[in-house]
Structure 1
Amino acid sequence: MAFLCKWTIRTVGACYLVALALLLIGTFGLFGQERDPLSGVFLIPLGLPWVSLLDGVSDGLKPWLAALAPAINLFILMALCRAFSRKKA
């Protein structure tokens, strides 16, 4: 179980870092890339269901909270893995 937890956390973390990098590259036009308003689209599925709860938030905070939403899922995964690994020991 610990092996599966470690690789799940690593995979989700790597996907999150790649999605954040694509957001930064597309938003600021780094490395000669054109600016793209949809560069953060890969963060949406990683941040579900928390992204869907952002309807009542002001428009200025939505991009920041959407970028942080996958971190919530990552922390939940880490907490679950720790809880299950302590339960067995």
Structure 2
Amino acid sequence: MTRICRFVIGLFVALYVAALGLFVIGTFGLLGQERDPLSGVFLLPLGWPWTGLVDLFPEPLWPWLTSATPLLNLAVLVTLCSFLTGRHGQTR
């Protein structure tokens, strides 16, 4: 189970870093790219269902909160894997 958890978490982190990179490049027009308002579209499925709660905050924060929502899912994955492998509550 540990290998599967590490693989899933690693894959999620890699997808998040790639989507975050595309978001930053498209938002600020880096590397010669034009500014693209849809550059954060790959962050939406990674942050689902938390992206639906972003509307509760002021509109200027929406892009930044949307880019942070996958971190909540990453925390859920890490917690779930720690429970499944029996490492919860243990200190080293």
Q: Which runs of 4+ in 1 moved over 2 A?
A: none
Q: Give the Cα–Cα distance (whole angstroms) in 2 for the partners of residues 31 and 55 of structure 1.
A: 30
Task: Report the aligned-residue RMSD.
Answer: 1.0
Unaligned ranges ≥5, structure 1: none
**2:70 counterpart SS class:** helix
Secondary structure at the counterpart of residue 15 of structure 1? helix
* Map 1:1-89 → 2, pairs under 5 A: 1-86=1-86
Cα deviation for residue 56 of structure 1 reads 1.8
Structure 2: which 5+ runs fail to align?
88-92
What percent of counterpart residues are identical? 49
Instruction: Calculate the TM-score normalised by the size of structure 2.
Output: 0.90
**Structure 2 CA distance for aligned equivalents of residues 59 and 40 of structure 1:** 15
